[in-house]
Structure 1
Amino acid sequence: MADPARNTLPLPDYDHLPIGGLESRVRSLSADEVEELLAYERSHADRVPVTELLANRLEQLRAGAQPTSGDPGAIRPEQSEGHAGSPVSPATSPEPFSPPPHGTPDQFGKPKGDRT
Protein backbone atom coordinates (compact mmCIF):
# COMPACT_ATOMS: atom_id res chain seq x y z
CA MET A 1 0.00 0.00 0.00
CA ALA A 2 1.50 3.32 -1.05
CA ASP A 3 1.85 6.10 1.48
CA PRO A 4 0.06 9.24 0.20
CA ALA A 5 2.48 11.49 2.12
CA ARG A 6 5.32 10.14 0.00
CA ASN A 7 3.80 11.66 -3.16
CA THR A 8 3.78 15.17 -1.71
CA LEU A 9 7.37 15.32 -0.44
CA PRO A 10 9.65 18.08 -1.75
CA LEU A 11 12.02 15.36 -3.07
CA PRO A 12 9.88 12.85 -4.98
CA ASP A 13 12.53 10.11 -4.86
CA TYR A 14 13.38 10.76 -1.20
CA ASP A 15 13.01 7.16 0.00
CA HIS A 16 15.50 5.93 -2.59
CA LEU A 17 18.24 8.54 -2.20
CA PRO A 18 21.55 7.46 -0.69
CA ILE A 19 22.62 9.70 2.16
CA GLY A 20 25.35 11.32 0.02
CA GLY A 21 22.80 12.33 -2.61
CA LEU A 22 20.34 13.46 0.02
CA GLU A 23 22.89 15.74 1.66
CA SER A 24 23.44 17.59 -1.60
CA ARG A 25 19.79 17.76 -2.63
CA VAL A 26 18.40 19.15 0.66
CA ARG A 27 20.58 22.22 0.19
CA SER A 28 18.10 23.46 -2.39
CA LEU A 29 15.12 23.20 -0.01
CA SER A 30 13.56 25.87 2.17
CA ALA A 31 13.23 25.50 5.95
CA ASP A 32 9.57 24.45 5.60
CA GLU A 33 10.47 21.75 3.08
CA VAL A 34 13.28 20.41 5.27
CA GLU A 35 10.85 20.37 8.23
CA GLU A 36 8.41 18.36 6.12
CA LEU A 37 11.12 15.82 5.23
CA LEU A 38 12.25 15.62 8.86
CA ALA A 39 8.69 14.93 10.07
CA TYR A 40 8.25 12.28 7.36
CA GLU A 41 11.58 10.63 8.25
CA ARG A 42 10.80 10.55 11.97
CA SER A 43 7.37 8.98 11.37
CA HIS A 44 8.66 6.38 8.91
CA ALA A 45 12.20 4.98 8.82
CA ASP A 46 13.63 7.26 11.55
CA ARG A 47 17.22 6.68 10.39
CA VAL A 48 19.57 8.44 12.79
CA PRO A 49 22.10 9.69 10.17
CA VAL A 50 19.26 11.08 8.04
CA THR A 51 17.44 12.79 10.91
CA GLU A 52 20.75 14.33 12.05
CA LEU A 53 21.48 15.56 8.53
CA LEU A 54 18.01 17.11 8.17
CA ALA A 55 18.06 18.62 11.67
CA ASN A 56 21.49 20.17 11.02
CA ARG A 57 20.33 21.63 7.71
CA LEU A 58 17.20 23.02 9.34
CA GLU A 59 19.35 24.64 12.02
CA GLN A 60 21.57 26.18 9.32
CA LEU A 61 18.53 27.60 7.51
CA ARG A 62 17.09 29.05 10.71
CA ALA A 63 20.49 30.65 11.42
CA GLY A 64 20.33 32.51 8.13
CA ALA A 65 21.66 30.11 5.51
CA GLN A 66 20.03 30.39 2.11
CA PRO A 67 18.90 27.50 -0.09
CA THR A 68 21.31 26.84 -2.93
CA SER A 69 20.99 24.98 -6.18
CA GLY A 70 22.47 21.85 -4.61
CA ASP A 71 24.87 19.57 -6.41
CA PRO A 72 23.47 18.62 -9.81
CA GLY A 73 25.99 15.80 -10.03
CA ALA A 74 24.79 14.21 -6.80
CA ILE A 75 24.26 10.49 -6.74
CA ARG A 76 20.74 9.75 -7.92
CA PRO A 77 19.14 6.32 -8.13
CA GLU A 78 17.85 6.99 -11.61
CA GLN A 79 21.42 7.60 -12.80
CA SER A 80 23.00 4.53 -11.26
CA GLU A 81 24.25 1.86 -13.56
CA GLY A 82 22.71 -1.54 -13.07
CA HIS A 83 24.81 -4.61 -12.57
CA ALA A 84 25.79 -5.55 -16.10
CA GLY A 85 27.88 -8.57 -15.24
CA SER A 86 31.39 -9.20 -14.11
CA PRO A 87 34.10 -6.64 -14.88
CA VAL A 88 36.52 -9.56 -15.32
CA SER A 89 37.75 -10.17 -18.84
CA PRO A 90 40.39 -12.51 -20.25
CA ALA A 91 42.85 -9.62 -20.02
CA THR A 92 42.20 -9.11 -16.29
CA SER A 93 41.61 -12.68 -15.15
CA PRO A 94 44.38 -14.54 -13.29
CA GLU A 95 46.61 -17.16 -14.87
CA PRO A 96 45.34 -20.74 -14.54
CA PHE A 97 46.91 -22.66 -11.71
CA SER A 98 47.74 -26.29 -11.03
CA PRO A 99 45.45 -28.34 -8.84
CA PRO A 100 46.58 -28.77 -5.23
CA PRO A 101 49.05 -31.63 -4.59
CA HIS A 102 46.40 -33.69 -2.82
CA GLY A 103 44.23 -33.64 -5.95
CA THR A 104 40.61 -32.82 -6.58
CA PRO A 105 37.61 -35.16 -6.78
CA ASP A 106 38.05 -35.56 -10.53
CA GLN A 107 41.87 -35.43 -10.57
CA PHE A 108 43.89 -37.58 -8.21
CA GLY A 109 47.02 -36.33 -6.51
CA LYS A 110 50.43 -37.29 -7.78
CA PRO A 111 52.50 -39.71 -5.73
CA LYS A 112 55.62 -38.24 -4.11
CA GLY A 113 57.80 -40.87 -5.65
CA ASP A 114 59.00 -44.25 -4.65
CA ARG A 115 58.60 -44.55 -0.88
CA THR A 116 59.74 -47.88 0.38
Structure 2
Amino acid sequence: MADSPAHDDLVLPDYDHIPLGTLPSRLSPLDEAGVSGLLAYEQAHGNRLPVVQVLENRLEALRSGTEPSGSLPDELPEVTRSQQGSKVSPATTGPKINPPSQGDPTNPAQPRQ
Protein backbone atom coordinates (compact mmCIF):
# COMPACT_ATOMS: atom_id res chain seq x y z
CA MET A 1 0.00 0.00 0.00
CA ALA A 2 1.29 3.48 -0.84
CA ASP A 3 2.11 5.97 1.88
CA SER A 4 -1.02 7.69 3.09
CA PRO A 5 -1.07 11.49 2.90
CA ALA A 6 -1.81 13.48 6.04
CA HIS A 7 -5.39 14.70 6.48
CA ASP A 8 -4.35 18.34 5.97
CA ASP A 9 -2.61 17.40 2.69
CA LEU A 10 -5.72 15.92 1.05
CA VAL A 11 -6.93 17.60 -2.14
CA LEU A 12 -10.53 17.74 -0.90
CA PRO A 13 -11.19 19.81 2.22
CA ASP A 14 -13.17 17.95 4.90
CA TYR A 15 -12.90 14.76 2.83
CA ASP A 16 -13.98 12.63 5.82
CA HIS A 17 -17.32 14.42 6.00
CA ILE A 18 -18.37 14.31 2.35
CA PRO A 19 -21.59 12.25 2.00
CA LEU A 20 -21.17 9.16 -0.16
CA GLY A 21 -23.89 10.37 -2.53
CA THR A 22 -21.96 13.50 -3.48
CA LEU A 23 -18.48 11.95 -3.50
CA PRO A 24 -18.46 11.01 -7.23
CA SER A 25 -19.22 14.61 -8.27
CA ARG A 26 -16.51 15.87 -5.90
CA LEU A 27 -13.98 13.55 -7.55
CA SER A 28 -14.60 14.76 -11.12
CA PRO A 29 -12.05 17.63 -11.04
CA LEU A 30 -9.28 15.43 -9.59
CA ASP A 31 -6.49 13.85 -11.60
CA GLU A 32 -5.13 10.35 -11.09
CA ALA A 33 -2.65 11.48 -8.41
CA GLY A 34 -5.39 13.23 -6.40
CA VAL A 35 -7.72 10.22 -6.46
CA SER A 36 -4.81 7.88 -5.65
CA GLY A 37 -3.96 10.01 -2.62
CA LEU A 38 -7.56 9.88 -1.39
CA LEU A 39 -7.65 6.12 -1.93
CA ALA A 40 -4.44 5.63 0.05
CA TYR A 41 -5.77 7.84 2.85
CA GLU A 42 -9.11 6.00 2.91
CA GLN A 43 -7.50 2.56 3.00
CA ALA A 44 -5.18 3.62 5.83
CA HIS A 45 -7.88 5.27 7.94
CA GLY A 46 -11.59 4.52 7.43
CA ASN A 47 -11.33 1.79 4.79
CA ARG A 48 -15.08 2.10 4.14
CA LEU A 49 -15.92 -0.35 1.35
CA PRO A 50 -18.44 1.84 -0.52
CA VAL A 51 -16.02 4.79 -0.47
CA VAL A 52 -13.09 2.61 -1.58
CA GLN A 53 -15.23 1.30 -4.46
CA VAL A 54 -16.15 4.83 -5.61
CA LEU A 55 -12.48 5.88 -5.48
CA GLU A 56 -11.30 2.73 -7.32
CA ASN A 57 -13.97 3.19 -10.01
CA ARG A 58 -12.93 6.81 -10.56
CA LEU A 59 -9.27 5.82 -10.67
CA GLU A 60 -10.03 3.14 -13.28
CA ALA A 61 -12.00 5.65 -15.35
CA LEU A 62 -9.08 8.10 -15.27
CA ARG A 63 -6.67 5.37 -16.32
CA SER A 64 -9.03 4.49 -19.18
CA GLY A 65 -8.86 7.99 -20.58
CA THR A 66 -11.53 9.99 -18.75
CA GLU A 67 -10.41 13.58 -18.31
CA PRO A 68 -10.89 15.52 -15.05
CA SER A 69 -13.62 18.13 -15.36
CA GLY A 70 -14.83 21.09 -13.34
CA SER A 71 -12.99 22.77 -10.51
CA LEU A 72 -12.52 22.18 -6.82
CA PRO A 73 -14.86 24.27 -4.66
CA ASP A 74 -13.41 26.47 -1.92
CA GLU A 75 -15.79 24.84 0.53
CA LEU A 76 -18.31 22.05 0.44
CA PRO A 77 -21.91 23.23 0.95
CA GLU A 78 -23.03 19.84 2.26
CA VAL A 79 -20.35 19.98 4.99
CA THR A 80 -20.81 22.89 7.34
CA ARG A 81 -19.40 23.60 10.75
CA SER A 82 -22.83 24.80 11.94
CA GLN A 83 -24.33 21.30 11.77
CA GLN A 84 -23.49 20.56 15.37
CA GLY A 85 -26.99 20.13 16.81
CA SER A 86 -29.00 22.38 19.05
CA LYS A 87 -27.68 24.29 22.02
CA VAL A 88 -28.50 22.90 25.44
CA SER A 89 -29.90 25.36 27.96
CA PRO A 90 -32.51 25.40 30.72
CA ALA A 91 -34.99 26.71 28.14
CA THR A 92 -34.53 23.62 25.95
CA THR A 93 -34.65 20.95 28.65
CA GLY A 94 -37.52 18.50 28.74
CA PRO A 95 -40.10 18.15 31.51
CA LYS A 96 -39.05 16.83 34.87
CA ILE A 97 -39.84 13.12 35.20
CA ASN A 98 -39.71 10.62 38.00
CA PRO A 99 -37.53 7.55 37.61
CA PRO A 100 -39.25 4.22 36.94
CA SER A 101 -41.09 2.87 39.96
CA GLN A 102 -39.34 -0.51 39.94
CA GLY A 103 -42.51 -1.92 41.46
CA ASP A 104 -43.05 0.88 44.03
CA PRO A 105 -46.84 1.39 44.20
CA THR A 106 -46.42 4.79 45.90
CA ASN A 107 -44.47 6.31 42.99
CA PRO A 108 -46.51 9.31 41.78
CA ALA A 109 -45.37 8.75 38.18
CA GLN A 110 -47.62 5.70 37.93
CA PRO A 111 -51.24 6.24 36.85
CA ARG A 112 -53.82 5.28 39.46
CA GLN A 113 -56.95 3.28 38.75
Both structures adopt the same fold (TM-score exceeding 0.5): yes
Give the CA deviation at 1:8: 0.7
Give the CA deviation at 1:105: 3.7
2:111 alignment partner AA: D
In 2: Cα distance, 1:8 partner to 1:32 partner: 13
Residue 78, structure 1, aligned to residue 80, structure 2: yes
What residue is the counterpart of 1:11 in the other structure? 12
1:77 alignment partner AA: V
1:10 alignment partner AA: V
Q: Flag structure 2 segments of 5+ consecutive residues without an equivalent.
A: 87-108
Percent of residue pairs identical: 43
What residue is the counterpart of 1:24 in the other structure? 25
Pick closer, same or farther for the CA change 1:82–1:44 going to 2, 3 Å: closer
Runs of 4+ in 1 over 6 A off after TM superposition: none
What residue is the counterpart of 2:50 in the other structure? 49
In 2: Cα distance, 1:65 partner to 1:28 partner: 11
Give the CA deviation at 1:106: 2.9
State the aligned residue count: 87
Secondary structure of 1:24's counterpart equals: helix
In 2: Cα distance, 1:11 partner to 1:58 partner: 15
1:62-113 residue CA offsets vs partner (Å, 9 max, x unmatched): 111111227x8x86221886656xxxxxxxxxxxxxxxxxxx94352xxxxx
Q: Flag structure 1 segments of 5+ consecutive residues without an equivalent.
A: 85-103, 109-116
TM-score by length of 1: 0.61
Q: CA RMSD in A?
A: 2.9
Structure number with larger C-alpha Rg: 1
What residue is the counterpart of 1:91 in the other structure? none
Secondary structure of 2:80's counterpart equals: helix
